[in-house]
Structure formats: C-alpha cells, structure tokens
Homo-oligomer: A and B are copies of this chain.
Amino acid sequence: MNRQLKFFEAIREATDQAMERDPAVYIVGLGVPDPKGIFGTTLGLQEKYGTTRVQDMPLSENAMTGVALGSALVGMRPIITHQRVDFALVAMEQMVNQAAKWHYMFGGKAKVPMVVRMIIGRGWGQGPQHSQSLQAWFAHIPGLKVVMPTTAHDAKGLLAAAIEDNNPVVFIEHRWLHNISDEVPEEYYTVPLGSARVMREGNDVTIVGTSYMALEAVRAAERLRADDVSAEVIDLRTIRPWDVETVLGSVRKTGRLVVTDTASAAFGVSAEIVATVLECEFASMKTAPVRIALPDHPCPTSPALSNHYYPRADHIVRGVQRMMGIEPTTDMPAMTPHQKLDVPDPSFKGPF
C-alpha cells in the first residue's frame, strides 16, 4: 500500500484504532481535546469518542496519574499524556511507588494497564526545564515498561502494544520525530514490546541508538561508508525490557559497541547497555565501548549554546573513527547559531 504517515499521525491512528477496538480505552491529559491536540496526536478524537473517553484535566498531574491508575485497577485502560517529560516529575510518586508496584506488592491480585505518554522537548529554547530525557529513571524501576519509538511505523505498533499491555508503560516521544514520515499500514497492528529493530546491517561496529538518536546513528552509518566502515545500527525501541539478545548478537559479530542516547550519558540508559554488553560479551570485544549522549549539565536556552549541547551524527562518526584508529575524513562542521540547529527542519517553526 505504501501509505506514508507522519509519526504524530501514527500515534493518533493507534489511539483511534485502540479506542475503537476496546471501549475500556480512554485518554486524558492537559490539552488533549484542545485545538492543538498534543502536537496533533489527539486531534479529532473527542469529536469521535465524546467528552468522557477523551478528556482534558485539571493542572494536577500527580493526582491524575493516580486517577488513571485507579481506573485501570477496575478494568479501564487509560492513556495519560504529558506535553513534556519534565511536567511528569510531579507524578513520580504515583508512577514509581504505586503504578509500578501494585501488581507485585499485592501478589498478583491487582493489575495496572495504563500508558503514560511523555514528550521530550528539544530546540527553540526549550531550555533546562522543557527538554529533559529521563528514560533511565523509568528503566531503573521494575514494574514499569519503557518504550521509545523512532519511526512512524513503530510509533503506531508500539503504542498499540503499550495499550494492550497489562502493565504501566511509559511511552516517550521525541518532539523532533513527530513530523517524520514513513510507511505505516492502515490496519491495526502491534510491534511487540522488548524487541529492537536492526535499521541497518553491518559488520565492523554496532551502534545502538534510542529514539531520535537512532536516526542520527543511521546518518552516521551512511557517512562511515566513506571510511569503509560497515556499521550495524540497532534502534532499541523498547528500553525496558530491552532486547539484550539482538544487541549481544550484533556485538558478537562486530566486536565493537557505540551507544547513543537522547539523555545524559552519566548514569543513563547508555551506561546500562554498555555494562550489560561488557559483562556478557567481554571476550568478543575488540575495543573499548563508546557512549555518545548528552553532556553532564543542564540544557541551556540560547541557541548559541544549545546547538553545541546536542550530539549529532558527526559525534557518532568521530567516536567510531577513534575506536577504529581512522583519521577523520571529514571535519566536524564548525557550528554557529546562524545554522539554526535548534529546529529539526524548515517545516518546524517556534515557539513550540
């Protein structure tokens, strides 16, 4: 069929189809039914499903997370949305002490099928409080699942799977992916949680990426062909549980590992991937592993600074070159604020 859909449309379609299939599914969040519809992902749903199944809410993220949880206990399947990961920080108690633990701590008597959508802001001066990437926090908590789709296809299938799942699933969307298109089947389908996607096969180095950084990894792999390096790119897709087997299998083949993540390297998801691979495949490794992720400080607002805050394909290329003892073929492009690196592509205009 070759139907192209944008990532945000794929999210909407998955929600729509899930709501159609199961009357227990409902969606609640600040601005869900508003004219912007969470970056377009919820547009039209209230018209179709009414004001009970598609709801706005008070500015009370912690209580509303509890409300979603409570409704899930008795059979509803809530989706709760946060326009920034940062806003969800007020809801950590409900997410971590409660949602993650009710199944275990009641000996299996309770279950909490809920999806918590969170968006990672980036660019256009989102700054220190609108751009955090806290997947490592959620991944550290047994009882939660954590999903970070990269492609529109996976966004649809993973969201459908998250909604079908009988556990609390944190579904993290990177703002710079919302307008990226790819082929998305019209019919309902799921992509199983916990399986990675090999985006590109290769033999010399394994690059594991999360979310938007998986795209930068693909770009890096293309550039590395000039150095005769064949890079395998793995989009992790699910952070918890993550697809250990696919990653280990790749590393057994390549003997080299680069991990690139949208969050800080320090105590982040990339550390866990590196640690697990080195514990399990030390003998296969030809070189030290490399992490390409955010530096260890908050995100500044000025484009002159934030443009240098985010790693890009170049950094990945450099990492691989260093690891393989290759003299850099390309100079890292000097960056100036005039390059407008704080927007993903010309279709994206500030302020949001």
Chain A interfacial positions (CB closer than 8 Å to B): 62, 86, 89-90, 92-93, 96-97, 100-101, 104-105, 127-129, 132, 134, 136-137, 139-140, 142-143, 240, 263-264, 266-272, 274-276, 278-280, 282-283, 285, 287-291, 296-298, 300-301
State how many copies of this chain the complex holds: 2
Residue of B nearest to A296 (CB): B142
A288: B residues at CB distance < 8 A: 278-280, 282-283
Among B89, B279, B285, B301, the residue within 8 A (CB) of A291 is B279
Asked whether B269 lies within 8 Å of A267 as measured between CB atoms, the reply is yes
Among B142, B271, B300, the residue within 8 A (CB) of A272 is B271
Residue of B nearest to A104 (CB): B298
Docked pose: A139 CA to B266 CA in angstroms: 8
Tell me the minimal C-beta distance from A349 to chain B in angstroms: 24
17 contacts between A and B (CB under 8 A): A89-B92, A96-B132, A97-B132, A100-B298, A101-B298, A104-B297, A105-B129, A140-B267, A271-B272, A272-B275, A274-B275, A274-B279, A275-B289, A278-B278, A278-B288, A279-B291, A282-B287
* Contacts A285-B282, A288-B282; A140 near B101 (Cβ below 8 A): no
Asked whether A271 lies within 8 Å of B275 as measured between CB atoms, the reply is yes
Tell me the minimal C-beta distance from A151 to chain B in angstroms: 24
Residue of B nearest to A274 (CB): B275
Asked whether A297 lies within 8 Å of B267 as measured between CB atoms, the reply is no
Docked pose: A142 CA to B240 CA in angstroms: 23
Tell me the minimal C-beta distance from A325 to chain B in angstroms: 13
Docked pose: A60 CA to B344 CA in angstroms: 41
Asked whether A272 lies within 8 Å of B280 as measured between CB atoms, the reply is no
Asked whether B278 lies within 8 Å of A270 as measured between CB atoms, the reply is no
Tell me the minimal C-beta distance from A117 to chain B in angstroms: 18
Asked whether A290 lies within 8 Å of B298 as measured between CB atoms, the reply is no
* Contacts A128-B104, A282-B285, A288-B280; A297 near B142 (Cβ below 8 A): yes
A266: B residues at CB distance < 8 A: 139-140, 142, 240, 272
